[in-house]
Amino acid sequence: MLGLFGAAALCGYLLGSIPTAYLAVRWVTRGAVDIRQAGDGNAGANNVNRVCGRRWAILVGAVDIAKGVAVVLAFNLLSRLVNPALAGIPSGLPDSLAPAFALTPVGMLAGAATMAGQIWPIWLKFHGGRGAATALGITGAALPAAVLIMALPCIAVLVLTRSTIIALPFIYLTSMVLARAVFDVGWGAIGYCLGIFIAVGAVHFWAVRSRRPVGRATPGRG
C-alpha cells in the first residue's frame, strides 16, 4: 500500500505538470507566444481566453478538469483493488453504480499531487497555472452528485457575471454545502475539498499580489 501512495504522488504530479495552456497557446500562435509572458502571465484557461479566445479556453479548461477527475477516480479504484476491504468515504452516489467515487486516502493524495503539478509543473520550471480547473475536477470526483447538480447554476453565474473569480467559488462552496446537507457526504471529503478550495484561493491571492505587467499577444490562428 505504501508503494501505491508513492505512485499516486508521482503519477498525479506528472499528469498535473502537463502544461495544457502553454502547449495550446504555443500551437495556436505557431510557437510565437509563451502564455507566461502574455495576458496576466497565468498558464491557465482564463488567460488562454485572453490570448487565444473562448474556444481554446474551454478546451484547455476541460482537459485540466479531466486531469483532476481521472487521477482521483483511478487511484480510488486501484487502492480498493489492492485492499478490497477499503470502503472509502461515501460520495452521495450509490456504491453499486460508481465504486470509484468512494474517496480513499490514496485518491486524495493523487488529487492533491495533480493540483501541485498544475501549479508548479516541472516542465515549465515550476511556473504554471493556479490550479482552479484541476481543483474543480478533483471536487467533482469527490462530490460528483453535488457538482453535477450545481454545474448548470454555475454556468448561469458565469454567463451573467463573465467572471470565473465569482463562478468557481460559487460551485466549490455550494457543492460542499449540498453534498453535506442533502447527500450526507462525510466530513472527510468535505474537509478535503475545502482544503483544495483554500489552496486555490491562496495561490490566486499570491499570484495577483506578485503579478508583473506582461505584454498582450495576438493569436496566430483561431
Q: What is the pLDDT of residues 125-157, one digit of tens each?
A: 888 888 899 999 999 999 999 999 999 999 999
pLDDT class of 186 with cuts at 50, 70, 90:
confident
Contact (Cβ atoms closer than 8 angstroms) between residue 66 and residue 18: no
Closest among 77, 113, 119 to 95, alpha carbons compared: 77
Phi-psi region of 44 (alpha: psi -120 to 50; beta: other; left: phi over 0): beta
Contact (Cβ atoms closer than 8 angstroms) between residue 196 and residue 139: yes
Q: Which residues share a beta bridge with 89? A: 103
Contact (Cβ atoms closer than 8 angstroms) between residue 123 and residue 23: no
pLDDT of residue 96: 61
**Amino acid (1-letter code) at residue 201:** G
Burial class (CB in 10 A: 0-12, 13-18, 19+), 146: buried
Instruction: Decide if pLDDT at 192 tops 90.
Output: yes
Grid coordinates of 94: 450509490
Please give the DSSP secondary-structure letter assigned to residue 174: H
Among 6-10, 15-19, 102-106, the minimum mean pLDDT is found in: 102-106
